[in-house]
Chains A and B, each alone.
Chain A
Amino acid sequence: MSVSLAIVALVTAPLVAALIAVILPRWGPWLSLLVVAGNAAALVVLIPAIVSQGALTLPIGGWQAPLGITLRADGMALAFLTMAALVMAAVLVSARPEFGGGGEVTETRRQWAFWPLALLLWSALNVVFLSRDLFNLYVALELLTVSAVALVAIDGKADGLGAALRYLMFALLGSLAYLLGAALLYAQHGTLDIALLADQAIGGRAAVDMMAVGLMTAGLAAKTALFPFHAWLQPAHSGAPAPASAMLSALVPKASFAILIRIWFEALPGLATPPLLVTLGAMGAIAIVYGSVLALRQTRLKLMIAYSTVAQIGYLFLIFPLAGGDSYMQPWAAGAWTGVMFHALSHGLAKASMFLCAGLWIVAAGSDRIEAMRGLASATPMIASAFALAAVTLVGLPPSGGFTAKYLMLTSAFVSGQYVWAAVLLIGGLLSAAYLYRPLAVAFARDGDAVFKPVPRLAQAMPLMLALAAILLGLASQGPFALMQIGRPSSAEAGLQ
């Protein structure tokens, strides 16, 4: 397989499979496995290729930007694609008992809709990670939103429908703000290509550009659920069925975040001002504290995990103050940039693992109250170890990927003398330890006498696989670290202003 075919396979395989699953609903689970295999093969071809040759670009239809749309596989894109492939593999295998259909004669609504929607969500993610055209990213984001909203509502109950509507309203307004920004940038520069914009906008700090990027940032922050745009996240993520929650929490916010990074660090790195960087960082810091405190107060497992996502998203935005400042002040900026990427990856793996664990535990215990899980660890040791390992990653303990992330971010904060952000990182770590300790303590308690429903071993293995991958990300961090340096924007080192 040539490298360009590998890139094409990443964006088209889930699309083709989704279309076939529409007419052949029973094939959904098997088509998904084929797509997992296809994506894995494409990544196995692509990763060594870009390690040896550097980032690869593919002009679609042979039309070079600005006329055409360019896909570009760099280190960051491949790291996110790999994380998404691992999460989707686990989610799609886990979803089989619930949505696979078994031997029933008649097809049901949920079984028919789930597989195309999940596959479309995956293809939208892959396009977002690879595309370098601001309008193409808009269409991909809309595909992502439409499939994600539909997955939130798939149970057809009041909670899910209300959550889906709230999510849709935020997402629609966010999309419009992003679209308006992209339209202004095209009107000003005559291109939507990120690399060409970077060439065009060098030096100047035009007010129209500032406004366009401000609109896009606000829209993408709403889609990422950054504080104070977080109100839709918790009902949507906790109200969806567990496999959907895993995709929504682990993957969907990373898509809008990835676009934000492309805009600020690649397209228009000259636009940032110190107050702007501090504001974005402060919103992240508030999200960390606010989300953690609310997670601490929850008595239901899925709500707690959803509020933890509000907090963990906050860390992503520390990239602006930690990696965006002037390079003379911040010799470790590139480290902070890579640290945040490590955080995005390890959070994706760990959070998907946790939601899958929660889904299985809720089935086993018949309730989603944390108290109802008393003693569950001895009945489901694989889930319990997966949850514990995922917690290790989210808290940022060694040797997990979360530790690598926090280590890089903390070092950068100390080296550049930004002690406030260092304090936020430490407080956030302590709070996450506090809220994650509770469900673990309950599950590992030995005084439980409840009887639990058995859980199939294959289903238990999926969250464990993800949690182990999150640990491995820290144990073998040199590989991913080196990968993410390929095609890394120079502004990640030199600062944004």
Chain B
Amino acid sequence: MIDGTASDIAATGFDLVLAAMILGAGLFAVTVRDLFGAVVFFIVYGVFVALAWLRLGALDVALTEAALGAGLTGVLLIGAVARLGRRTGTQGTDALSRRSAFSVRSVSQIATMLVSAAVSVALGWAFLSLSDSDGLRAGVAANLDASGVSNPVTAVLINFRGWDTLLESIVLLAALIGLWSLWRDDDWGRRPGLRQHARADGVLAMFGRLLPPFGLLFGVYMVWVGSSLPGGAFQGGTVLAAVWLLMMMAGLMPPPMVTSARIRAVLIAGPLVFLSVGIIGAFAGGFLGLPPAYAKPLILMIEAALTLSIAATLALLVLGPPGGPAMPSGPGDAP
């Protein structure tokens, strides 16, 4: 849709360059030989994708992608590579993973490539041949006043499709229960994550001391503005999670014990408040219904509790199981 003006051409040029960079970083993340390198490319890729969301006019998604898709997923994968150690990189004991290289070695790999290319072509064609649908813009706009917030994305997340969001916060919790259930029995009751040896005067410790106040402020601010501007429980929760992670990784604060009643209460607070509001609503007229007169305070209460739980759950998910390298250290570790 080039209509000839210079700014449009520049915008299209920017989009094309950005798309090329996304594809390049993605290709490296998928194909590069070294596992650590692949993770680094994946993080870069996530940042580019977040930029693409800005170009698509989806600021809320851009924030989420940058914080969760690139940030936390990246920390999670780097942590995993660190624990697996060099032994299971690409060279060495794992003969199978040598296949993961640029070179095409077998017929099945070529076949896979053709199938994947066909999937891309088919999806690209499907995308271009979609009929024009207005989506639900009009429906959201017409009911925005009754939703209690003025950011349409927050209105959908917490009010119109609050049931999705409630279940999603519980999916996070289920993943954490699953992750913790992978503990070794002897480790139950220990603190999660790798033991940290950050020096008290080191850079990490300095950041750990300097950043949290700002991070806390920024996280709370994001939840607060989420009702009218881009932001919200998940984005704010991610920032808070990052602050807490940083403090734990800098050794300024020990991770909580997995058996601590207090941390468990924090984990369930958000979903439980959300569910309780929903169930009280069911008796008062409609399950998860937020009466327009009280919608704004109810949403703030739900978001505050959700943010706390989401921050704790995300941080602990990224921190992972306790202990050092994941490879067997001796015969005592065998099943």
Contact = CB atoms under 8 A, between A and B. Distances in A.
A67 B181 contact: no
B275 A62 contact: no
Interface in B156-175: 159-164, 167-168, 170-171, 173-175
Contacts of B107: none
A318 interface: no
Nearest to B279: A12
Given A61-B159, A109-B188, A147 B174 contact: yes
B170 A120 contact: yes
A156 B160 contact: no
Nearest to B166: A15
Given A61-B163, A207-B129, A117 B335 contact: no
B273 to A, nearest CB: 10
A69 B163 contact: yes
B241 interface: no
B130 interface: yes
B161 A147 contact: no
A116 B176 CA distance: 11
Interface string A181-209: 00010111111000000000000001110
Contacts of B182: 153, 156, 161
A186 B268 contact: no
A133 to B, nearest CB: 8
Interface string B131-143: 1011110011001
A143 B122 CA distance: 30
A57 to B, nearest CB: 12
B109 to A, nearest CB: 18
Contacts, number: 163
Nearest to B139: A67
B236 interface: no
A143 B171 CA distance: 5
Interface in B173-205: 173-175, 177-178, 180-185, 188-189
A372 interface: no
A281 B159 CA distance: 42
B288 A146 contact: no
Contacts of B288: 60-61
Nearest to B288: A61
B180 A136 contact: no
Contacts of B335: 157-158
B139 A61 contact: no
Given A67-B160, A158-B335, A110 B181 contact: yes
Interface stretch (B4-12, B245-253, B257-265): B257-265
A442 interface: no
Nearest to B259: A107
Report whether over half of chain A's contact residues are helix, strand or loop; otherwise say mixed.
helix
Given A12-B279, A61-B286, A67 B177 contact: no
A135 interface: yes
Contacts of A108: 185, 188
A113 interface: yes
Contacts of B167: 127, 136, 139-140, 143
A16 B271 CA distance: 9
B282 interface: yes
Contacts of A157: 335
A139 B271 contact: no
Contact of B286 (A12, A62, A67): A62
A117 B275 contact: no
A142 interface: yes
A58 B271 CA distance: 21
Given A8-B282, A120-B170, A186 B135 contact: yes
23 contacts: A4-B282, A23-B265, A61-B289, A63-B143, A63-B159, A63-B160, A67-B139, A67-B143, A69-B161, A107-B259, A109-B181, A109-B183, A112-B180, A116-B177, A117-B181, A136-B167, A139-B171, A149-B178, A150-B177, A150-B181, A153-B181, A187-B133, A187-B135
Given A61-B286, A146-B171, A146-B174, 8 more contacts: A19-B271, A22-B264, A22-B267, A61-B162, A69-B164, A117-B181, A127-B167, A146-B178
Interface of B: 122-123, 126, 129-131, 133-136, 139-140, 143, 159-164, 167-168, 170-171, 173-175, 177-178, 180-185, 188-189, 259, 261, 264-265, 267-268, 271-272, 275, 278-279, 281-283, 285-290, 335
Q: Which 10 A-B pairs have the closest CB atoms?
A: A150-B178, A113-B181, A62-B286, A190-B133, A61-B288, A19-B268, A8-B282, A109-B188, A67-B139, A146-B174
